[in-house]
Amino acid sequence: MKAVVSVLGKDMVGILSDVSNECAKANANVLEVTQTIIQDMFAMFMMIDISKLNQPLSDFSVHMEETGKKKNLVIHVMHEDIFQSMHRI
């Protein structure tokens, strides 16, 4: 099982390390990272493996959202199935 972590916000030092650190704490393995900076906006997408997550995905999702808010970032954790079902037949 995989999930997509998306991070959007103003670029600053340490975003990637903060987010991957939280993933590590939850025992989510980072499989793939794509990041880009448009003007000074930071956009990062991580594909993470959630099959060995040490907490329910819903708790992790809420936790990440709150972590993002503290740093003025918008963080979403969404099960990959939503993208698969919406964009693939």
Partner 1 sequence: MINVNEIMETIKMIDEEYLDVRTITMGISLVDCADADIDKSCAKIYDKITRVAKDLVKTGEDIEKEYGIPIINKRIAVTPIAMLVGVSGGDPIKYALTLERCAQAVGVNFIGGFSALVQKGFSAGDEALIQAIPQALAQTDHVCASVNVGSTKAGINMDAVKMLGEKVKEAAELTKDRDCIGAAKLVVFCNAPEDNPFMAGAFHGVGEADCVINVGVSGPGVVRSALAKAPKDLTMNEIADLIKRTAFKITRMGQMVGTIASKRLNVPFGIVDLSLAPTPAIGDSVAYILEEMGLETCGAYGTTACLAMLNDAVKKGGVMASSNVGGLSGAFIPVSEDAGMIHAAREGVLTLEKLEAMTAVCSVGLDMVVLPGDTSAEIISGIIADEAAIGMVNSKTTAVRAIPAIGKQVGDELSFGGLLGSGPVMRVNQASCSVMIRRGGKIPAPMQALKN
Give the footprint of partner 1 on this chain (CB under 8 A). Answer: 4, 6, 34, 36, 43, 45, 47, 56-59, 61-62, 74, 76-87
Of 13 and 38, which has the nearer Cβ to partner 1?
A: 38
Of 42 and 45, which has the nearer Cβ to partner 1?
A: 45
CA distance 86 to 89: 8
Q: Which of 24, 13, 67, 69 is nearest to 46 (CA)?
A: 24
What is residue 39's three-state secondary structure? coil
Minimum Å gap between C-beta 17 and partner 1 is 21
Of 13 and 89, which has the nearer Cβ to partner 1?
A: 89
CB count in 10 Å sphere of residue 55: 13
Minimum Å gap between C-beta 84 and partner 1 is 7
CA distance 49 to 31: 7
